Amino acid sequence: MNISLNANIPDEVRAVASDGTKLRYALMELSAQYPDAIALGRGDPDLATPAHITQAVMQSIRDGKTAPTPVAGMPTLREAIGEKFRRENGLDVVGDNIIVTAGGQEGLFLLMQALLDPGDEVLVPDPRYTSYDEAIASAGGKFVLIPTDHEDAFNLRPEAVEAAITPRTKALLIVTPSNPTGGIVTEDRLRAIAEIAIRHNLIVISDEIYEKFLYDGWQHFSIGSLPGMAERTVTLNGFSKTYAMTGFRVGFIAAPANLIAAMAKVKAATTGATATISQWAGLAALTGAQEPLHEFQRIYTERRALMLTGLRDLGLNFSDPRGAFFFWTNSSSIGIHATVLSYLLLKEGHVLLFPGTGFGENWGGYLRISILQTTDLLQEALGRMKPILDRYRAQAK
């Protein structure tokens, strides 16, 4: 979307406009100037961590169960994670196939350090969460973008994957459901992509951290469960989104045992074992009551329905949000570059959104809007946005 970045915006925003991660953080820092700002930017759940999880943490402290665990994670937690993968995802994994990480960000970094040699290429869907770019670059790798599009609900096309493969291609990243688009990679596409991965001897990195939140009957499917994929699939997941545990910083990865061992060596030399109390929280999440997740799903479904109507009433269109917490919204009808529009909505309406360029340089005509506020605040944000969008849309005509 070729919309020029030509309006007056603060130097601190303009300076980082080409760096997705820095741009997102610059806008968050600006939003702190407005005490009444409504944040529809970050992807951190606003719901409370279920009580049985926090109680388990407090009990572990009272019982003195705070000593460091093995670097790869507490054995009982790794066992529970393996059971979750077998039961819910069809992955036949055991403790040696699992590592517990300090959140998904660390897991991604450890993986790339263990997997990549300088010059290796990783195929990455576009748009994407730009932390993938940084993790790949940190290991000397190169990310190669795979285009996806609005009309296809940002599903990943097998033919686009195969067309991007070169002799340097080491791995393919799949994110389903997707941040930022809310799209999914459907089972039929995953089956076709698995055949491509086997034929070209690729590692598949499957980020499934939003797997629990899907809508309108869509179902999650794990590519690692397919024949021939266990030995070439790395499955990333965690507790932060599913159980509203972002601040606990605890994630997990399933992969072939040799790759897990390599990741553990990097982890031992950098951060060491994940915080013990966070691991107890993860164990309580997996082995305790799951009813809170049903309530989370109900709340997110209600908010999503409100935003479906509200964004359409604002004259904005979006791809089909099949999962996760986001609307990937086409803002090109406003006639303003998404970075500028995000700044104006924050400055004039005190509504924090992230521009599409926070998720790839090709997306100057898109906004990522989250549903992680109460319905009252979502309604208030929509009301604040309307006069601003109407005014700039009229000026563009």
Q: Is residue 258 part of a domain?
A: yes
How far apart, in whole angstroms, are the C-alpha atoms of residue 101 and residue 112? Answer: 14
Domain that holds residue 224: 67-287
Q: Residue 16: pLDDT above 60?
A: no
Q: Averaged over 5-27, what is the pLDDT? A: 62
Q: Is residue 48 part of a domain?
A: no
Domain final residue pick, 252, 287, 322:
287
For 83-121, what is each residue's pLDDT tens digit? 999 999 999 999 899 999 999 999 999 999 999 999 999
Measured CA to CA in angstroms, residue 102 lies from 55, 166, 270, 273, 277 at distances of: 20, 33, 11, 8, 12
Q: Averaged over 358-370, what is the pLDDT? A: 92
How far apart, in whole angstroms, are the C-alpha atoms of residue 124 and residue 359? Answer: 12
Q: Which range has the worst mean pLDDT, 25-34, 124-133, 162-171, 221-230?
A: 25-34
Same domain, 153 and 206: yes
In the block, tokens 């730009």 appear at 130
Same domain, 89 and 104: yes
Q: Report the Cα–Cα distance between both ends of the chain, in Å, rounded.
A: 18
Burial class (CB in 10 A: 0-12, 13-18, 19+), 371: buried
Tell me the pLDDT band of 317, cut-offs 50, 70 and 90: very high
Same domain, 232 and 135: yes
Same domain, 131 and 266: yes
Q: Could you give the 3-state DSSP secondary structure of residue 355?
A: strand
For the beta carbon of residue 264, count every other beta carbon within 10 angstroms: 18
Tell me the pLDDT band of 10, cut-offs 50, 70 and 90: low
The reported pLDDT for the residue numbered 15 is 57
Q: Is residue 49 part of a domain?
A: no
Strand segments, DSSP code E, in the chain are: 38-39, 98-101, 121-126, 142-147, 169-175, 203-207, 233-238, 251-254, 317-318, 326-330, 351-352, 354-355, 366-370
DSSP letter (8 states) at residue 216? T
Same domain, 245 and 122: yes
Burial class (CB in 10 A: 0-12, 13-18, 19+), 7: middle
Q: Which tokens sit at 66?
A: 């705070």
The reported pLDDT for the residue numbered 113 is 97
In the block, tokens 């004259």 appear at 315
Same domain, 280 and 374: no
Same domain, 93 and 163: yes
Indicate the helix (H) or strand (E) that contains 340. Answer: helix 338-349
Q: What are the beta bridge partners of residue 370?
A: 326
Q: Is residue 26 part of a domain?
A: yes
Same domain, 302 and 276: no
Q: Is residue 358 part of a domain?
A: yes
Same domain, 246 and 326: no
Following CA atoms 82, 204, 111, 177 in sequence, which dihedral angle do they give, to the nearest 10 degrees? -70
Tell me the pLDDT band of 19, cut-offs 50, 70 and 90: low
Same domain, 24 and 104: no
Asked whether the beta carbons of 99 and 72 are under 8 A apart, the reply is yes
Q: Is residue 391 part of a domain?
A: yes
CATH number for the domain that contains residue 83? 3.40.640.10
The one-letter amino acid at 331: S
Domain final residue pick, 243, 265, 287:
287
Q: Averaged over 282-302, what is the pLDDT? A: 97
Q: Is residue 58 part of a domain?
A: no
Q: Which tokens sit at 114?
A: 């263990």
Q: What is the DSSP string of 168-211?
A: TEEEEEEESS-TTT-----HHHHHHHHHHHHHHT-EEEEE-TTT
Asked whether the beta carbons of 264 and 99 are under 8 A apart, the reply is yes
Q: Averaged over 219-234, what is the pLDDT? A: 97
Same domain, 248 and 120: yes
Strand segments, DSSP code E, in 102-163 are: 121-126, 142-147
Exposure class string for 22-48: b at 16+ Cβ within 10 A, else e: bbbebbbebbeeeeebbbbbbbebbee
CATH number for the domain that contains residue 303? 3.90.1150.10
Q: Is residue 356 part of a domain?
A: yes
For 149-175, what is each residue's pLDDT tens digit? 999 999 999 999 999 999 999 999 999
The reported pLDDT for the residue numbered 1 is 40
Same domain, 177 and 274: yes
Query: How many angstroms from the chain centroid is the CA of residue 9?
Result: 27
Q: Which tokens sit at 77?
A: 């937690």
Q: How many domains does the chain have?
A: 2
Q: Averaged over 369-394, what is the pLDDT? A: 95
The reported pLDDT for the residue numbered 9 is 62
Among 99, 113, 93, residue whose Cα is nearest residue 71: 99
Domain final residue pick, 252, 268, 287:
287
